[in-house]
Amino acid sequence: MSPSASRPGTILIADDNRMNRLLLARGLEQQGHTIAYAEDGREALELLGQQRFDLMLLDVLMPELDGYEVLAELKDDPHLRDIPVIMTSWTAW
């Protein structure tokens, strides 16, 4: 592992479910990462335009803009297209 891989990063969690956001953030914060939250795709894009993030955890199903629409916008923006994204999805039982 390279030295830069072990440094804490700034992560954006975009999920419309508050409990999902908190569950995802818990372990990441314990590892020293800084977490920002977005409740929908539109808010995620606004935050990405205001601040630099090392990674985004992006829910597939959200109001306003879903995860796929956010990915399309990222791809079209030369300043945002290189941000790593991990897609998330939760199933209710």
Question: Would you say residue 93 lies in a domain?
Answer: no
pLDDT-based confidence at 38, cuts 50/70/90? very high
Is the pLDDT at 91 greater than 80? The verdict is no
Between strands 55-59 and 85-88, the pairing is: parallel
Q: How far is CA 72 from CA 5, 41, 45, 66, in A?
A: 27, 11, 11, 10
Average pLDDT, the chain: 92
Most confident stretch, 41-45, 63-67, 86-90: 41-45
pLDDT > 70 in the chain, percent:
91
The more confidently predicted of residues 81 and 2 is 81
Q: Give the number of domains in the chain.
A: 1
Residue 93 predicted with pLDDT over 70: no
Angle at 39 between CA 38 and CA 45, to 5 degrees: 45
User: How much is the average pLDDT of 70-93?
Assistant: 91
Range of the domain at 35: 3-88
Q: What is the CATH number of the domain that holds 48?
A: 3.40.50.2300
Model confidence at 36, pLDDT cuts 50, 70, 90, reads: very high
